[in-house]
Amino acid sequence: MGTSEFVRRGGLRDARIPAGPVRTVSAPRNHASPALAAAALMMFYDVLVTLGAFIFAVWVHYIALRYMHNFRGTPANLFPGVPDLGYLLGFLLVLLFVLRRYGLYNGVPNRSGAHEQRLILQACLTAGVLLCGWLYLMQNLAVSRVLVVALILTTAIALGVRRAVWRTVRFARYAKGVETRNVVILGTNQLSFAIGQQIEDDYYLGYRLCGFLHAPGTTDAREVPADRILGNMDRLRELTRLHFIDELVIAQPCPIETVIHLLEEAHDVEIDIRAMSGFYGELAHNAPVEYLGAYPMVALHRRDPRFAALFLKRVVDILLSLAALIVVFPLMLVIAIAVLVDSRGPVFYVSERIGKRGRVFPCFKFRTMIRDAEAKKRELAKHNERDGILFKMTKDPRVTRVGRILRKYSLDELPQFFNVLRGEMSIVGPRPPIASEVAKYALEHFRRLEVLPGLTGLWQVQARHDSSFARYIALDTAYVENWSFWLDLKILLRTAQVVVKGTGS
């Protein structure tokens, strides 16, 4: 979910904190925009689809040659030659160029699916005609025309299907608030209200409007309802943490000194800043024009998105979780039977946990406690061995006999590989808290909710038995701020040691 579902349920108190020191930067940092990264990813998918269409076309070509061989004596050859691969590369480059020229790699998909399908067909035919012209000019008779026709048709069909599926899935997720970007608008004038209305009305844009901020030093009449105004610009830091804000849009001109201060603040809280095109030409020199719906924008600041690293992390999560589920499936069957035999109740324990950006999701575990464990937790609160808001007992009477063994070797968490496959968790990350814990968070604690929760993390391998809540938060925050693929690998290796030694809870 793109925004905090827990916030919308009223689980947070409205805390205010001082803005804190602001670091001076000489110039705003501009990284690759999210739209550019999304376009590169879509191009990559289209390359894969085109290569798959080529393989299918080769198979069709082979079948056609076999048919001709049976009746006309034509030899059948399954594998394309080097010239075929060279012309495929040319076809692919032209196709990507034409698709880009037609606007099919824009950050926001075309609202009309039929129009998008027509553009795809037109792009494939254009690339196919240029390929045929190339073959004619080169007087190349070695490349089969059957293969060329099959390539054009299969590519058009494959890209059309991929785009249709992508649109359906993407729009469905946007409608539910999943993977949307949280936006706050600086300004309360008529233009600010119009931009906010488009964000709220056109969910397919992939944005969610959190609210508006007063633009300092402005005299325009206020057009935004009072209940949608979150406050002044000095609340940006705390609002960023509470609402997981991704981007601030400047829709009302304010003094240049204010904008410079805002860029310095954005550097610290790691959010993007865009302004209406033409507002601050001196700060957006040569910056490309981007569109938020119908409104032209220029980027004034970009945070480092680390798209490649996060994409690699997701790929590794999927591969590792699939492999783990295949390997441990027999063990999971044995555990399920043991849980049923040991005590009355379901095999799995499903609890609502707070995940990335406040998303509420069902977390799966093997049941390790008696059925009325939550009811008895209040009676055992005085025996809590941890400070702060966490609960821990060395000899918890609610834990079953099988449950103690499962917890010692962390086997009760094996079903959470399904959460990883569903995209709700990662292999490595902070542990997902329950709602009652998050309700007691101070503002700085929300930092740990900016990433996917994990099966294991820095706290689990370094201070699992440390009763300090401050230590727990400090390690999770350190992981969020210093995350890298190699840090995940080190944590995985340390986790394996913990599991083998049986030093779990």
CATH number of the domain bearing residue 284: 3.40.50.720
Same domain, 350 and 325: yes
Same domain, 91 and 163: yes
- Of 303, 321, 356, the residue that ends a domain is 303
Same domain, 316 and 461: yes
Same domain, 219 and 365: no
Give the H or E element holding residue 186: strand 181-186
Taking residues 35-57, report their average pLDDT. 81
- Please give the pLDDT value at position 178: 76
Phi then psi for residue 298, to 5 deg, are -130, 145
pLDDT digits (tens, 9 = 90+) for 246-257: 899 999 888 888
Taking a C-beta distance cutoff of 8 angstroms, is the pair 333, 411 a contact? Answer: no
Position 143 confidence tier, pLDDT thresholds 50, 70, 90? low
- Of 303, 338, 354, the residue that ends a domain is 303
Measured CA to CA in angstroms, residue 454 lies from 248, 320, 325, 354, 414 at distances of: 29, 13, 16, 12, 12
Domain count, the chain: 3
Could you give the percent of the chain with pLDDT greater than 70? 77
- Please give the pLDDT value at position 23: 37
Least confident segment among 28-42, 146-160, 240-254, 341-355? 28-42
Same domain, 431 and 329: yes
Position 19 confidence tier, pLDDT thresholds 50, 70, 90? very low
Same domain, 286 and 408: no
Taking residues 351-372, report their average pLDDT. 86
Taking residues 30-50, report their average pLDDT. 73
Least confident segment among 76-80, 118-122, 126-130, 352-356? 76-80
Position 389 pLDDT exceeds 70: no
Same domain, 113 and 143: yes
Measured CA to CA in angstroms, residue 252 lies from 193, 263, 266, 356 at distances of: 10, 16, 18, 31
Taking residues 450-466, report their average pLDDT. 79
pLDDT digits (tens, 9 = 90+) for 294-324: 888 888 888 776 777 788 888 899 999 999 9
Same domain, 380 and 479: yes
Question: What is the span of the domain harbouring residue 121?
Answer: 37-174
pTM of the model: 0.68
Same domain, 356 and 432: yes
Position 75 pLDDT exceeds 70: no
Position 122 pLDDT exceeds 80: yes
Same domain, 23 and 164: no
Structure tokens at 30: 């501009």
Taking residues 372-384, report their average pLDDT. 58
- Please give the pLDDT value at position 35: 60
SS3 content of the chain, % helix, strand, coil (to 5): 55, 10, 35
Position 494 pLDDT exceeds 80: yes
- Please give the pLDDT value at position 146: 72
Same domain, 343 and 473: yes
Taking a C-beta distance cutoff of 8 angstroms, is the pair 414, 335 a contact? Answer: yes
Q: Strand pairing of 247-250 and 207-213?
A: unpaired
Position 70 pLDDT exceeds 70: no
- Please give the pLDDT value at position 16: 39
Position 184 pLDDT exceeds 90: yes
Position 414 confidence tier, pLDDT thresholds 50, 70, 90? very high
- Please give the pLDDT value at position 24: 36
Position 495 confidence tier, pLDDT thresholds 50, 70, 90? confident
Residues near 58 by beta carbon (within 8 Å), at least 6 away in sequence: 78, 79, 80, 147
- Of 141, 174, 207, the residue that ends a domain is 174
Taking residues 455-480, report their average pLDDT. 78
Taking a C-beta distance cutoff of 8 angstroms, is the pair 228, 196 a contact? Answer: yes
Same domain, 245 and 104: no
Q: Which of 221, 262, 213 is nearest to 239 (CA)?
A: 213
- Please give the pLDDT value at position 186: 92
pLDDT digits (tens, 9 = 90+) for 4-17: 555 555 555 444 33
Cβ atoms within 10 Å of 197's Cβ, excluding its own: 12
Position 240 pLDDT exceeds 80: yes
- Please give the pLDDT value at position 376: 59
pLDDT: is 233 or 319 the higher one? 319
Position 419 pLDDT exceeds 90: yes
Position 499 pLDDT exceeds 60: yes
